[in-house]
Amino acid sequence: MNVFVKLAEGFTGIVSAGGENLMGLITGILPNLLILLTCINAIITLVGEDRVMNFSKKLTRFRLLRYTLLPVISLFFLTNPMCYTMGRFVEEDQKPAFIDACFSFAHPITGLFPHGNAGELFVWTGIAAGITKLGYSTMPLAVRYLLAGVIVIFIRGNATEFLTKKIMAKNKGGAAK
Amino acid sequence: MKPSVTITKGSSGWGGPLTVYETETRKVVASVTGGSIHPLAEKIASLLGVPVVDAFNNKVEPDTIIIAVVDCGGTLRCGVYPKMGVKTIDIHPISPSGPLSKYIKEDNFVSGTTLDCITQSGEAVPSEPEVSGQAVPEPAEIKESSPASGGNQFFNFITSMGRGIGSIVNVFYQAGRDTLDIVLKNILPFMIFVSIMVGIINYTGIGDLLANAIKPLAGSLPGLLGLSVFCAIPFLSPVLGPGAVIAQVVGVLLGVEIGKGTIPIAYSLPALFAINSQVGCDFVPVALTLAEAEDDTVSAGVPAMLFTRLVTGPAAVLVAYLLSFGLYS
């Protein structure tokens, strides 16, 4: 009998510990998230997809912007997963690199702008919860996450562009033989 | 042959495309936008060569309407006409909502439409010039009848101002609806899942075991670099990727340990990159399709991305490590 009581107690303990955590998430993060997502969704509608598309077409020519500003704009305005459609404006052999840059920015953007990838927040929110628990603001980490993200996507974009071109050249050589 | 018109959705709209034409019974375009006749309704009517009616001030039998133009923010009007079997254009970019949302379908409803979204379909070519010539006076006739409700400039100004405010309100209203949608479908379910996990970790002793396992990996730079290479191994990364579930779970675990002090707080930034070097690896072919890439590009791009991650994964951890100097100290 005692075993069952212990089991029941243990189970209720887990449930109430989980419930407490859920309450914290719902009262702590959710209200701000709702307001922020709504405001940014509205801004995106007001700015209009067409204008973003036109502006982005002009950015694709410059290597520096193609793997920094362009993925940032794509994720901010079109969000995951529609941001990848912006890839149709870049050259064919740069598309994988652009996609790589978008992927790699899909989480760094969530620190400051959760709407960019609202379905996958917990990479950021999970770690940020630890910072909050220690009594610090998560803002310094969010800003650095974004900055580091921009540097990382520039590195990844260039690396992937380089290797894509190599592989394409090799594939073509093989086909010619 | 009767002319027909194709109407597509606007950039953030929903539904459609609809193709409409005059039939035996359906002979008018209805504008239900309040104040005066909406330019959209006018354009469609002139392309079809039929009259346009201000259904806000005049009663129109639903059975006679070819298509109705409404400016509904997503509660009633957008659903009323589809329910009565009338094809509907909502000038606001809304998705099905409101009590009648179940009647709103892609084949009877299109939203967010602008003047550019309206095109005349091919079969009308021979009669087109004649039709548009005829049609122009017709909407004008109707318009003359509406000044009875006060068609002076002041009234027009009030109407257009009201419409402007209305459309901004509607943008925010729809944005709220979209937000709630993603919160209900994605964010809240994950919060519940995370809470169950945290409950188990915190209440049972598993937390301490995990801490011992994670500490050497996530608590030092070599450990984090190793973790990032592991996640980027080309045959593992596509398996670890989907929905970022693995990265999110590990993120929550590390968050718990950072909160306890097991992992130094300064390592939070490099850890964010170390647990996620597989990001997107499951999704490359789909994303490349969205980017309209050719087959050759896909077959070269997928391995290119998977293999560069072995180098750019740890590179990202290093960048983050360098950027974390002075963080929370």
In the structure, what pLDDT confidence band is assigned to residue B243 with cuts at 50, 70 and 90?
Answer: low
Instruction: Summarize pLDDT for B147-160 with one digit per residue, the tens.
Output: 444 557 888 888 88
Residue type, B171: V
Instruction: Summarize pLDDT for A77-93 with one digit per residue, the tens.
Output: 888 777 888 888 888 88
Q: Report chain B's terminal Cα–Cα distance, integer Å.
A: 78
Dmax over Cα atoms in chain A, in whole Å? 78
Return the SS3 of A128: helix
Residue B49 has pLDDT above 80, yes or no: yes
Q: Which residue has the higher pLDDT, B122 or B116?
A: B116
Q: Does A45 touch chain B (CB under 8 A)?
A: yes
In the structure, what pLDDT confidence band is assigned to residue A145 with cuts at 50, 70 and 90?
Answer: very high
Closest CA to A86 of B288, B182, B8: B288
pLDDT, residue A154, reads 92
Helices (H), chain A: 2-28, 30-47, 49-59, 63-66, 69-73, 95-105, 122-133, 139-176
pLDDT, residue B140, reads 41
Query: Both tokens of residue B6?
Result: 């194709």
Helices (H), B25-74: 39-48
Tally the residues of chain B: 329
Q: Which residue, among B305, B306, B329, would best test binding to A if mutated, counting the most A CBs under 10 Å from its CB? A: B305
Residue B125 has pLDDT above 60, yes or no: no
pLDDT, residue A175, reads 59
Contacts of A159 in chain B (CB under 8 A): 308, 311-312
Contact assessment for residue A37 and residue A118, using Cβ atoms and an 8 Å cutoff: yes
Contacts of A142 in chain B (CB under 8 A): none
Range of lowest pLDDT (B87-91, B116-120, B132-136, B252-256) = B132-136
Minimal Cβ distance to B305: which of A82, A90, A100: A100
Give the Å distances, CA to CA, from B29 to A162, B40, B91, B138: 57, 10, 15, 12
d(CA B312, CA B314): 6
A82 Cβ contact partners less than 8 Å away, ≥ 6 residues apart: B290
SS (H, E, C) B142-202: HHHHHHHHCCCHHHHHHHHHHHHHHHHHHHHHHHHHHHHHHHHHHHHHHHHHHHHHHHHHH
Contact assessment for residue B59 and residue B98, using Cβ atoms and an 8 Å cutoff: no
Instruction: Summarize pLDDT for B51-98 with one digit per residue, the tens.
Output: 888 877 777 788 888 888 888 766 677 777 888 888 888 888 888 776
Q: Tell me the mean pLDDT in the region B23-45.
A: 83
d(CA A92, CA A79): 22
In the structure, what pLDDT confidence band is assigned to residue A151 with cuts at 50, 70 and 90?
Answer: very high
Query: Both tokens of residue A120?
Result: 């996958």
A108 Cβ contact partners less than 8 Å away, ≥ 6 residues apart: A145, A146, A148, A149, A150, A152, B272
Nearest CA in chain B to A170: B300
Closest CA to A89 of B130, B76, B290: B290
pLDDT, residue A174, reads 64
Tally the residues of chain A: 177
How many CB atoms are closer than 10 A to CB A135? 7
Closest CA to B265 of B315, B218, B313: B218
CA distance B224 to chain A (A): 15
Q: Which residue, among B319, B322, B325, would best test binding to A if mutated, counting the most A CBs under 10 Å from its CB? A: B319
Dmax over Cα atoms in chain B, in whole Å? 83
Instruction: Summarize pLDDT for B230-242 with one digit per residue, the tens.
Output: 888 888 777 776 7
Nearest CA in chain A to B12: A45
- Average per-residue pLDDT for chain B: 79
Instruction: Summarize pLDDT for A9-57 with one digit per residue, the tens.
Output: 888 888 888 898 888 888 877 888 888 888 888 888 888 878 888 888 8
Instruction: Summarize pLDDT for A108-138 with one digit per residue, the tens.
Output: 999 888 888 887 888 898 898 888 888 889 8
Where along chain B do its domains lie? 4-120, 205-324
SS (H, E, C) B273-304: HHCCCCCCCCCHHHHHHHCCCCHHHHHHHHHH
Contact assessment for residue A25 and residue A133, using Cβ atoms and an 8 Å cutoff: no
Angle at the Cα of B41 from the Cα atoms of B40 and B46, rounded to 5 degrees = 100
Q: Does A169 touch chain B (CB under 8 A)?
A: no
| Interface predicted TM-score (ipTM) | 0.82
Query: Both tokens of residue B266?
Result: 């300064």
pLDDT, residue B133, reads 39
In the structure, what pLDDT confidence band is assigned to residue A69 with cuts at 50, 70 and 90?
Answer: confident
How many CB atoms are closer than 10 A to CB B206? 12
Minimal Cβ distance to A99: which of B268, B275, B291: B291
- Residue B73, phi then psi, degrees to nearest 5: -85, 10
Where along chain A do its domains lie? 1-46, 48-176
B275 Cβ contact partners less than 8 Å away, ≥ 6 residues apart: A123, B227, B228, B231, B247, B250, B251, B254
Residue B316 has pLDDT above 80, yes or no: yes
pTM over 0.80: no
pLDDT, residue B129, reads 41
* Whether B72 is catalytic: yes
Closest CA to B117 of B75, B67, B165, B83: B67
Q: Tell me the mean pLDDT in the region B97-104.
A: 74
Instruction: Summarize pLDDT for B185-227 with one digit per residue, the tens.
Output: 778 887 888 888 888 877 877 777 777 777 788 888 888 888 8
In the structure, what pLDDT confidence band is assigned to residue B139 with cuts at 50, 70 and 90?
Answer: very low
SS (H, E, C) A60-71: CCCHHHHCCHHH
Contact assessment for residue B291 and residue A88, using Cβ atoms and an 8 Å cutoff: yes
